[in-house]
Structure 1
Amino acid sequence: MNNATLRTSSHSAYRLYYHLVLSMKYRHKCLSAPMLNRLDSLMRDLLIKWRCEMVEFGGEADHVHLLFEAPPTVKPSDLVRSLKSVSARHMRKEFAAELAPFYWKPYFWNSAYALISVGSRANIETLLRYIENQDDPRKMVKPLD
């Protein structure tokens, strides 16, 4: 993560990171190494289409973690919905035989997810101190006439 440089668009400068955790329906331990590799590839491609960038991908047999960067124009809930639906469709098609013992209905992801915003350079305490120490006109004492 190169935190030193802000990304820019026509009307904004930003650095927005998100940590997304998706778990398997019923927390079944059904993801194999080839499945995780395919999910990594699918998620990276989908994020590019949304003008986002994958920073890191990892997972276990029953869940995956994505750390990605997104522009401020992306609505996170819409992005997550797209990531889940497109990846599930591909995985159910490409790994039908491997998933058959776990899911007889067209299930893949749990309906819930965790999405956490991640600081890029400063932790919350540093940010609070920075904001508190601004030259806020409300804090300035007016001299007596």
Structure 2
Amino acid sequence: MEKIMRGVCAIQDVTLAEFNGETDHVHLLVEYPPTVQLSKLINSLKGVSSRRLRKRYPHIKTHWIGKKGHLWSPSYFAGSVGGAPIEVLKQYIEQQQAPH
């Protein structure tokens, strides 16, 4: 999943500084220019990762896909951390459990 997310970010001129998460969600620390719309970036990350993961791992449909047939929840949380030390943010994300 991290490789997929890095690829999507690279295409959109976004830097994925840190990736981690837990069983049911992921944490991404991204740096993006003001020309990138956050909602469109997240839509791309979710859409591309869902398609590629379902194609590579067909069994994912029976284990993770919700009632409406979606891998990801339609919601997301985004927080701005301008001015916070990047190392503190990376450390927080690194301490999360890796997604399975």
TM-score category, normalised to shorter length: 0.7 to 0.9
Q: Which residue of 2 aligns with 1:132?
A: none
- Aligned pairs (5 A) from 1:20-31: none
User: What secondary structure does 2:36 align onto?
Assistant: coil
Count, aligned residues: 84
**Residue identity matched to 2:58:** A
Pick the aligned partner of 1:97 from 59, 76, 80: 59
Q: Which residue of 2 aligns with 1:114?
A: 77
TM (norm. structure 1) is 0.53
Pick the aligned partner of 1:87 from 40, 49, 65: 49
Q: Select the structure that is richer in strand.
A: 1
Pick the aligned partner of 1:62 from 24, 32, 54: 24
Contact in 1 for aligned 2:50/2:71 (Cα 8 Å): yes
Q: Which residue of 2 aligns with 1:49?
A: 11
- 1:112 deviates by 0.5
Quote the sequence identity (%).
39
**Residue identity matched to 1:107:** H
Q: Select the structure that is richer in helix.
A: 2
Unaligned regions of 5+ residues in structure 2, if any?
Answer: 86-100
Unaligned regions of 5+ residues in structure 1, if any?
Answer: 1-38, 123-145
Write the distance in 2 (CA, Å) between the matches of 1:86 and 1:106: 15
Write the distance in 2 (CA, Å) between the matches of 1:83 and 1:121: 24
Contact in 1 for aligned 2:64/2:71 (Cα 8 Å): no
**Superposition RMSD on alpha carbons, in Å?**
1.8
TM (norm. structure 2) is 0.75
User: Could you say which structure has the larger radius of gyration?
Assistant: 1
Q: Which runs of 4+ in 1 moved over 2 A?
A: 101-106
Q: Which residue of 2 aligns with 1:12?
A: none
